[in-house]
A and B are shown apart, each in its own frame.
Chain A
Amino acid sequence: MSSAAKAETPFFDPITVEVIQSSLSSITDEMFATMRRTAMSSIIYEVLDFGVALFDAKGELASSGSGIPGFIGMLQPGVAAVQEKFPASAISDGDIFMLNIPHRGGVSHLNDVVLIMPLCHERRIVGWLANKAHWVDLGGAYPGGISPEATEIYQEGLQLPCIKVIEGGDLNESVLDMILANSRLPETTEGDFWAGVASMRAGRARFLSLLEKYGEEAVCFAMDDYITLGEQIARASMRDLPNGEFYAEERLEDGQTIRVTITIDEERFIVDLRGNPEQAKTSLNSSRDATFVDCQMIFKAITSPDTFGNAGSFRPITLLVDEGSLFAATYPSAMGIYYEASMLLFDLLWKALAPAMPERLTAGHYASICGTFMGGPHPETGDVHGIVEPQLGGWGASQDSDGINALYTGYHGDTFNVPVEITEQRNGLMVDRLALSEAPGGEGRYRGGKGIELDYRILNDDWWITMAYVRSEAGPWGLEGGLEGSTNYIVLDRASGEQTRYTSCTAIPLYKDDVVKVYTANGGGFGSPSDRPADDVRRDIRDGYVTAERARAVYAVDV
């Protein structure tokens, strides 16, 4: 006998509610772990470019499993898209929907495929599960789908406009066949598809046993209460924020200026992005939904970074943005490099707020995903492999500590780099060197963290590279007199001896013994370098974080 039968009143004791809520987060944790263990590509299991989530019947985020803060808020628009397109009568237990168009619920770019599954109980929809992951290739004009040169979304791969791929538990083989036919890496794609399905099936089984035990009413009440709790936590922490208007602007490398005004009062966090440049002709655009995710991330970082996030956590946020602008591009704009547009904005929001809340925010970090896409035949097996990797970089100094060396961006989280020993075996290239940056920049009372220098040696012909980094002209911003950091770029060091610097390129051919040298930025400094204690400078010299010459010039310290 299930306890649902015993429940006669709509009130649930706080202990039961707490137990259900902690079970909700263990459901999404399990979905996350299953996806990670079964995925086929390192962009999923190391970079953690994926998220899973559980929603209430209305489609409001109740609990999520993610290693990346950006993915917490990225799945809700997908559920809304399914609800909008399909009446409840057209949805049955065991269905799985699929979508990826960023302007229409997909949020990010076509490579991020969203799977959505209704949770049904006695023929009613009582909740939803979603899984969104970066698939390495869905076709399109460029290998890996992503290129700064794309001008329309049609060039970026197969569009999946909210379709059923599994109906009542049965695979629609035609849909999967079509997707695989469009992918340059069908085996990996199929593996990642099934990994997503396995993850949601695990979540569904766990959710159903929760329903069986506590009854639908109690579970729904607990979900609702959890979202309310998210909102209470957010509102309570807003009381500690300084109220006022906070402004920042940044000149982009193409000469345009982006700007933001953030207004904080007791109740609201208003991000005003009106008046920003029009959407680009390239793929450096982000959707309104992606822009909202940026607002969520910075809001969470300054309010309650130590607690869970759900739909309630973000209710105080208001976003004002012009349709058709860089931060709310409209269909059919290309969107492949949305993550750098989003990163530009995230960094801008951070820059606006940091001077007012130095206890929560550091000086600027390297602020570029530094997405690096390479591929070619493996010298040993001849199999064609693709690398899709972000790069590590330096973080900004804070009011009481040096910046962190070699960490992924604020957009990332529990993201792991791919070990040299593994990348050499799997991808068939060689890493000559992986070291902390030797570039000057980021000095201060507290110095910015170091970026990296990473040299990939190509071992045979017929390879290619695509990349697009930002923060390649001006380094990360300092605070309170701390110096600007260094910049992000690559140098192609050809076997012929020719060297070329790039900040963006598409499918440039690579040949045996060419070396791709990746350089990422040092973070910005905090406080004037002249205030850095001489002992700290001497320790930096001993450890090789600064040269004696640079120490003399910037810190006026002699050894």
Chain B
Amino acid sequence: MGRVRAASDIGGTFTDLVYFELDDETGEVRSVATEKAHTTPPDFERGVIDAFVKADVQLDNVSYFAHGTTVVINALTERRGVKTGLITTKGFRDVLEIARGNRPDFFNLRYQKPAPFVPRYLRCEVTERMTYTGEVVTPLIVDGVDDIVQAFKAEDVEAIAVCLLHAYANPMHEAAVVARVKDLWPDIAVVASHQISREWREYERTNTTVASAYVQPIAETYLARLEERLADNSFDGSFYIMQSNGGIDTVEATKRTPISIVESGPASGVLGAAALGEYLGIRNIIAFDIGGTTAKCSLIDDGQVAITSQYMIERSRQSAGYPIITPVVDIVEIGNGGGSIGWVDEHGKMHVGPQSAGAQPGPVAYGLGGTEPTTTDANLMMKRINPDYFVGGEIKADMPAVEAAMARLGAQLGLSAQEAARGIVRIANNNMINALKLVSINRGYDPRDFTMVAFGGGGAMHATALAAELNIPRVIIPAHSAVFSAWGMLMSDLRRDYIRTQPGRLDRLRAPLVSATFMEMEKEAHSAFVEEGIAADDIRLERYLALRYQGQEHSVTIPVTSGAVRENDIDIILDDFRTSYEKQYTYRLDNDVEVVNFKVTAFAAVDRPSPAKIPPSTDIESARSGTRVVDFDTLGVMDTSIFSRDLLGAGDQIDGPAVIEEAGSTTVVFPGQQVSVDDYGNLHITIKGSLDVLSS
């Protein structure tokens, strides 16, 4: 057996393990396999090890292990963090509770505001004050920390967050408070805002710091135990944790500010799409993932994964939620997946999701007691999914039950069972189209310039219809598309995003000043990696400026070339900004342009596996497993060739209508679309610019 690279992801029910056996000589992936073990709360590390044992993978043979975990997000949403105290600037302890004062559920006069993570009696103030330029107005009275620590000890506080006004501009006072806390109470978990974020907005930064402190002891314990269990099993490879920003990072760095893994996991598919694009020479990608309960999409512009630091948890139409301003891959997620339920409201309107049949009881076709028709059931009714090869042939689809459920749904609207099934698919598709528009058209991108990379259990099933609707010219269904996210984890680099708010008019900030800020940030990023033993050659730095017209709130991010910034570079930056802004919003202004944030992204390359090539095409007929009558909605019901994906060879061409089946997913090819199989087994589907695929 060759060396193994493994990735595991902890889900609500199962802990998934995906492992790739590499050819020791070529570094190519020789085989891919998956295993599941039960998730084992509260000792999640047990489930991780169980999966390796079940898969019969010897840990001493694993050279590389990337891990995605929901331990942080679960501790936050289930309120299982530790008792946390907050130290802040005098006069501002209520910022955490006042929040931003907004009420998204705006017709409702019985709105409930989300409660702060730290109650008022544990929010304490120190005398100090800075300006937005980082100048000290009132020096810190550091002795004030002593009484606070006393009080926190008396209340059995387990973690301390420190967030002072304008600390993004000058962290000196925060650092002094942390030092004093550590002197007085060496064992306590303490984190200051500047260690997590150098961006302005005191409520957002305070809440993020508090959230990080609240989960820190829990994340630290979990990671330490997992390291221990891996060591017990003779693991001596590299071990990384998947970060929310789409990169990986070391366990040590993650323990310090665990809030950086709040969205560990969902981002990895997007990374996989970017990595695949790099292989195939495709720079503009819409990554699209359909799972059991949700669909997620994200846009990759010129090879760059979109990152946002305006992430929210528990935000909904009913609740303001909580901001977490750590860099997170910008994903739009909606409650529409294979298990989403089709239903009719009291006013005779049909909807799909966000309720999902989940894994239990699952779609009606599972025969496990589900009675509400789901998107998967609708795809079965339309014969897009093979009822005789359902879930890779593991389950015999209960079609009489599916038909009965569709008939019940249809009866509420005067539709037949078949029409109801088409209705579910059409509405689900429309929901997904709206999500895809949010990441593309609404941000000024033209879908015609993009390739859709679709994956997850349901991605391949819906992608071609959605691409046709949005005029996306090409869809790629990657090899092993059902476990593509895990592949993404193995294709990640170490990534750290450094963002610093330093507002000022671009024409007044002199080029040397812009240079100096970038150089300082780059030095910090570079030396952090070097100190951790990373070779300088493997480090890559990118810089950006977030700019806006003076007075605006929203900024547009522009890449900036490396090296010293000269005066004429400033003119280039200004012009780039105005052009980019106009592209997005249709107009150009002569108004002054303001810098909001400096951004430096630091990557450290890790050794990646190469995807394996598949054998060349022989006879396409050998891959054809038969024909069946498939419902293509408005395009008609027609005899359709069915292919087995595992038997396709490089260079094979297929004309739609066709269905291509594999164990974890099904690719639906509409009439007029063409498929070609590349050397790595990825399906490239050419979409005709047709609006008619979905319309009625």
Residues of A at the B interface (CB closer than 8 Å) are: 1-3, 12-16, 18-19, 22-23, 26, 30, 33-34, 36-42, 45-46, 66-69, 187-188, 190-191, 194-195, 197-198, 201-202, 206, 212-214, 218, 229, 232-233, 236, 297, 300-301, 304-306, 309, 350, 359-362, 381, 392, 398, 401, 404-408, 410, 412-417, 419-422, 424-426, 430, 432-436, 452, 455, 542-545
Contacts and interface: CB of A to CB of B under 8 A. Distances in A.
B109 A191 contact: no
A543 B442 contact: no
Contacts of A309: 107
B101 A406 contact: yes
Contacts of B427: 15, 18-19
B104 A419 contact: no
Contact of A301 (B101, B109, B347, B441): B109
Interface string B401-444: 00000000000011100010011001100110010010001100
Nearest to A313: B107
Contact of A194 (B93, B204, B415, B589): B589
A421 B430 contact: no
Interface stretch (B44-52, B113-121, B650-658): B113-121
Nearest to B166: A421
B97 A434 contact: no
Interface string B193-210: 000000011111000000
Given A404-B112, A421-B202, A187 B591 contact: yes
B314 interface: no
Given A392-B98, A408-B101, A452-B98, A432 B585 contact: no
Interface string B436-454: 0100011000000000000
Interface string B653-696: 00000000000000000000000000000000000000110011
B478 to A, nearest CB: 29
A218 B696 CA distance: 10
Contact of B691 (A213, A236, A417): A213
B554 interface: yes
Given A421-B132, A421-B166, A404 B111 contact: yes
B696 A436 contact: no
Contacts of B131: 424, 430
A432 B351 CA distance: 50
Contact of B200 (A46, A69, A229, A421): A421
B186 interface: no
A3 B695 contact: yes
B94 A15 contact: no
Please give me the 4 A-B residue pairs with the lowest Cβ-Cβ distance, nearest first.
A413-B106, A433-B91, A305-B107, A543-B120
B423 A15 contact: yes
Interface string B490-512: 00000000000001010000000
B438 to A, nearest CB: 8
A419 B201 contact: yes
B348 interface: yes
Given A194-B587, A415-B101, A416-B101, A236 B346 contact: yes
B554 A38 contact: yes
A40 B426 contact: no
B109 A410 contact: yes
A214 B696 contact: yes
Contact of A417 (B100, B107, B112, B168): B100
Nearest to A66: B106
Contact of B553 (A46, A202, A398): A46
A425 B695 CA distance: 51
Interface in B93-146: 93-95, 97-113, 119-121, 131-132, 137
From A18, A452, A543, residue with most partner B Cβ within 10 Å: A18
25 contacts: A1-B692, A14-B414, A16-B696, A23-B434, A36-B553, A39-B552, A39-B553, A41-B551, A46-B553, A67-B104, A188-B551, A195-B585, A229-B349, A301-B107, A306-B107, A405-B98, A414-B102, A419-B201, A421-B165, A421-B166, A424-B131, A424-B166, A435-B92, A544-B121, A545-B120
From A19, A301, A408, residue with most partner B Cβ within 10 Å: A19
A401 B112 contact: yes
A432 to B, nearest CB: 6
Nearest to B205: A421
Contact of B101 (A2, A18, A197, A417): A417
Given A37-B554, A392-B98, A544-B121, 4 more contacts: A191-B549, A194-B589, A306-B108, A415-B101
Contacts of B591: 40, 187, 190-191
A306 to B, nearest CB: 7
B519 interface: no
Nearest to A36: B554
Interface residues of B, number: 75
B323 to A, nearest CB: 11
B568 interface: no
B100 A15 contact: no
B26 interface: no
Contacts of A421: 132, 165-166, 168, 200-202
B350 interface: yes
Contacts of A198: 585-587
Contact of A360 (B109, B132, B419): B109
Contacts of A1: 692
Interface of B is mostly: loop
B422 A15 contact: yes
A266 to B, nearest CB: 18
A201 B107 contact: no
Contacts of B413: 14
B552 A40 contact: yes
A26 B434 contact: yes
Nearest to A365: B109
Interface string B67-105: 000000000000000000000000111110111111111
Contacts of A542: 121
B551 A420 contact: no
Nearest to A70: B106
B338 to A, nearest CB: 19
Contacts of B168: 421
A419 B349 contact: no
A268 B346 CA distance: 22
A414 B166 contact: no
A68 B554 CA distance: 20
B695 A22 contact: no
Given A30-B442, A213-B695, A420-B92, A405 B431 contact: no
Interface in B566-617: 585-587, 589, 591
B202 A22 contact: no
A73 B73 CA distance: 39
Contacts of A212: 691
Contacts of B695: 2-3, 213-214
From B101, B121, B348, B430, residue with most partner A Cβ within 10 Å: B101
Interface in B436-481: 437, 441-442
Contacts of B350: 14-15, 18
A436 B100 contact: no
A13 B415 CA distance: 9
A233 B347 contact: yes
Contacts of B346: 236
A456 to B, nearest CB: 12
Contacts of B113: 404-405, 407
Nearest to B168: A421
Contacts of A42: 553
Contacts of B106: 66-69, 412-414
A408 B105 CA distance: 12
Contact of B109 (A12, A45, A68, A362): A362
A509 B112 CA distance: 39
A416 B91 contact: no
B430 A22 contact: yes
Contacts of A360: 109-110
Contacts of A37: 553-554, 585
B200 A419 contact: yes
Given A18-B349, A191-B552, A305 B92 contact: no
